[in-house]
Amino acid sequence: MPQQHTSISPLATFLIATFFLLSLFPGTFIPILWAPYNSLAAYYFPAAAPRSTVLCSSPNICTAPLTMSWYVSKQFTLPSRSRGSYLITDTILKELPEIKNYKTGLLHLFIQHTSCALSLNENWDEDVRADMSTALDRIVPEDKKGQGLYLHDAEGSDDMPAHVKSALVGASVTIPITNGRLNTGTWQGIWYLEFRDMKHSRKIVATIQGEKN
């Protein structure tokens, strides 16, 4: 009796192979199956353009975020001075013409020394600066008689009091900028206070942060 041979059609072979591949590697075929749908969705429903962030505050006032720019680490040296309090606003403006380029922002000034200071104070009457130096000398006196007021005296009797005064007054000031100008009060000026007897050259680091014109 002749033997019968059974054969599998090419279509059946393809379906069986596809079934095994889908079973073993389903993740490979998911993007292929979704590709026609994604193409149609992208064509008929294009993605909206990203919206810029809007800052809102009460009562219902919304503004776009400011574009911030930086001007960092500009260093300059002040004229050498001996002990005293000095108005340096004009010197700062001369060294930093970039202030005029800022609509709004902050100017930060930092003096890189430990026996002097920066401050904001009276800009008109010179007697105020003289009185300030005298008052600080009374608050932190020198040990000229060698009574042992301070342990640190290797650099002269004026050195340790200078460090104390620097700590009391501070090494930096921050001033607002509005429409290209320092927004100080009518009688405010930038002071440099030198606490050593001999003249010293002092370096300042200026940092400007703000929105340019």
- Say if pTM beats, i.e. exceeds, 0.85: no
Residue 186 has a pLDDT of 96
Secondary structure letter of residue 104 according to DSSP: E
Q: Residue 58: enclosing H or E segment and its boundaries?
A: none
CATH of domain 68-212: 2.60.120.460
Residue 9 has a pLDDT of 73
Candidates 210, 194, 165; CA nearest to 70 is 210
Q: Point out the residues of the chain with pLDDT beneath 50.
A: none
b/e per residue 81-97 (b: at least 16 CB within 10 A): bebebbbbbebbeebbe
Would you list the domain boundaries of the chain? 10-44, 68-212
Taking the CB of residue 41, how many other CB atoms lie within 10 A of it? Answer: 12
pLDDT tens for 137-152 read: 999 999 988 899 999 9
CA distance 190 to 118: 7
CA distance 109 to 42: 54
Residue 63 in 3-state DSSP? strand
Candidates 79, 192, 189, 197; CA nearest to 137 is 197
Residue 7 has a pLDDT of 63
The label of the residue with tokens 């800009």 reads 123
Dihedral sign computed on CA atoms, order 122, 123, 124, 128: positive
